[in-house]
Amino acid sequence: MAHASSLLLVAAMLVGCSGAQQHHAGEPDRAQAHADASVAGGSAAVAAAMRGSHRSPGAVDRDQYRHAVETLAFFGFTPTMTVLDIGPGGRGLGAGYYTELLAPVLAKDGLYLATNREPPSTASAPSTHHWTAYEGVRFDDLLRAAPELYGKVQVIRVDYSAPKLNRDGKVDMVLLMREVHMMKNWGTLDTWLRESHRALKPNGILGVEDHRAAPGTDPDKCGTTGYLPEAWVIAQVEAAGFKLVARCEINANPRDTRDHPKGVWTLPPELALGDMDRDKYLAIGESDRMALKFVRVANEAAR
């Protein structure tokens, strides 16, 4: 019964996600049932990680907006995958959110990979815990603080202006969680998509979540606000050798008007205006976001 309930849970979570489930008769039905069971197992494991005492202060507050179990189920996450999480650290209050959920789940039968910048030379810093110029310090500290949870995490040190992953054909899933808008702003989106394409196995999954601008918005005018038009994002990713297979509204937020004084950072968790209109922005919640599932097209080279 528990197994059947898990499968029903996955099916229920994917309601409203166009293209998320495609069943066929005969042998593919059995393959699909096995895939559904694996995703259900991943969902149960992520849900358990969400209840863990290891989570950072404030992380639980994000759960109501980020729908991590549902989002990862939509992407097709299973606990035996090799998953590459691009840019999970950063400086924001949500830094390491998915690391705390995925790394413990993948520790037994899968592998969690994460990108981070190269730290400065220890010769220029009093200790590795005082890299004041290093924006990835919080992420490194997160991993060091709990080796029993994160000891198997593999960090890929990259130059974010010219990233090289060096994991050709080794990865089952790449996650770009709120990263595309910054890649657009830095002028590195094409490079990151090319590197992601190379890292993925044929038919590997690229999961994209990002802040969604109003349809028809000029991406060159809205990118610095943190928002991007969904159709533009899809076009860029497909041009890099991926195919959109499903989209999901699990992280949609109709209360988000997308016209805030400091862009998406006006909203929680950043609340860039401080106490100014704080209750107003807390009532809106986190941004309206797209969730897009792509697959790497087999035998097709990226740009």
Neighbours of 181 (CB within 10 A): 23
Residue pLDDT, tens place only, 78-100: 999 999 999 997 655 667 999 99
pLDDT score for 117: 85
CB 108 within 8 A of CB 79: yes
pLDDT at residue 119, rounded to an integer: 76
Q: What is the pTM of this model?
A: 0.89
Instruction: Summarize the chain as % helix, strand, coil (round to 5).
Output: 40, 20, 40
Hey, which residues does 85 pair with through a beta bridge?
A: 114, 175
Per-residue confidence (pLDDT) for residue 17, from 0 to 100: 78
Q: Cα 205 to chain center, whole Å?
A: 12
The answer, yes or no, to whether residue 279 has pLDDT greater than 50, is yes
135-186 tens-digit pLDDT: 678 888 889 999 999 999 999 999 888 999 999 999 999 999 999 999 999 9
Q: What is the pLDDT of residue 210?
A: 98
All domains of the chain in start order, with CATH: 2-252+288-296 (3.40.50.150)
Does 6 have pLDDT greater than 80?
A: no
**Parallel/antiparallel/unpaired status of strands 289-296 and 200-211:** antiparallel
pLDDT digits (tens, 9 = 90+) for 189-237: 999 999 999 999 999 999 999 999 999 999 999 989 999 999 999 999 9
Q: What is the pLDDT of residues 30-71, one digit of tens each?
A: 778 888 898 999 999 999 999 999 999 899 999 999 999 999
Residue 122: C-alpha distances to residues 115, 116, 131, 138, 151 (Å): 20, 17, 8, 16, 22
Rounded CA separation 15/11 (Å): 7
